[in-house]
Amino acid sequence: MTFVQIVDYETSRPEAVDEVIDRYLEKTKGRRTVSHTVVGRDRESETHFVDVVEFPSYEAAMKNSHLPETDTMFQEMTALCDGMPRFTNLDVVRDEHLNTLLANRMFGEIAMKGDLSVVDEIFATDYRDHDISRPEVKIGRDGIREDVRMWRSAFDFAFTLDAQTAQEDYVTTLWTFSGKHRGEFMGIAPTGRDCTMTGTTVFRCEDAMIKEGWWHYDAMRLMRDLGAM
C-alpha cells in the first residue's frame, strides 16, 4: 500500500530549504526509497509550505528514515524553519489520475468492445492523431472511428495494458496487441494467423477530453506475423 507523508512548515528561507533537499537527493542516490515528491507554497502566505512525500509502502518509508542522511536533512531543514515542522502520515486508500480513465476507455470500450459512441464522450472535436504508420496528422473524431473500424474488420484482437504513467496533461500507456487476422488488412488477404505487437500510446488531455494522441508500435513485427516480410 502506498504511503504518503505530509510535511507542513513555515520558512522565510525556501531557497536554502531547496538546497538541503538537493544535497539529500544527491547523497542518497541508489539507496533512498522515496518515489515522488511535491512541494507546494501557500498562495495566502508566502512563508507557508507543504511537502508531499510518497513511498511505495510504509515499510519503505521506515527504511528511508533509517538512512543517516535522512536525519541530517531533517536537522538542517528544522534549523531553517520558523518552528517545528508538522508531520501527517497517510496510508493511500484511493489513487486515481482521472486522465488515465480516458485512455482506458479508449482501449477497453472503443477499441476492444467497438463502442464508437464513446468517441464523442472522450475525444475533443478537434482531436489530432499522430500515427507512426502514416505521415499526415488526422484531425477530428472521425479519424478515430475510421481507424477502429479498419482494425476491427481485420482482426479479432485484445489489448493488454502493460504499464501506464500520468504526468500533468499526458497519459502514456505501454501495451501489447494480440489478435487473429480474419479480414483484409493493408492489401493482405485474411491469413488466420495469430499476431502480436507491442506499442506505446501517449494522449494529451485538456478539459477532461483527449486532445491529441501519438501511436508508436512495432509494425514490422506485425507484418512478419502476417507473412508479409
Q: Which three cell numbers stand for residue 15?
A: 531557497
Taking a C-beta distance cutoff of 8 angstroms, is the pair 77, 85 a contact?
yes
Whether 229 shows a pLDDT value over 80: the answer reads no
Average the pLDDT over 192-207 and give the result: 96
For residue 101, the model assigns a pLDDT of 96
How far apart, in whole angstroms, are the C-alpha atoms of residue 32 and residue 52?
Answer: 16
Q: What is the DSSP letter of 185?
A: B
Average the pLDDT over 153-182 and give the result: 96
Q: Which three cell numbers stand for residue 200?
A: 506505446
Write phi, then psi, for 79 (nearest 5 degrees): -65, -25
Average the pLDDT over 158-163 and give the result: 97
| Percentage with pLDDT > 70 across the chain | 100
Please, which pLDDT band fits residue 199 given cuts at 50, 70 and 90? very high
Taking a C-beta distance cutoff of 8 angstroms, is the pair 175, 161 a contact?
yes
Q: Which domains does the chain have, with CATH numbers?
A: 3-91 (3.30.70.100), 98-225 (3.10.450.50)
Q: Tell me: the pLDDT tens digits for 117-157?
A: 999 999 999 999 999 988 899 999 999 999 999 999 999 99
How far apart, in whole angstroms, are the C-alpha atoms of residue 176 and residue 196?
Answer: 7
Interaxial angle between packed helices 14-27 and 68-80, expressed in degrees from 0 to 180 and rounded to the nearest 10: 170
How far apart, in whole angstroms, are the C-alpha atoms of residue 93 and residue 172?
Answer: 23
Q: Is the dihedral of CA 11, 17, 21, 27 positive or negative?
A: negative
Please, which pLDDT band fits residue 96 given cuts at 50, 70 and 90? confident
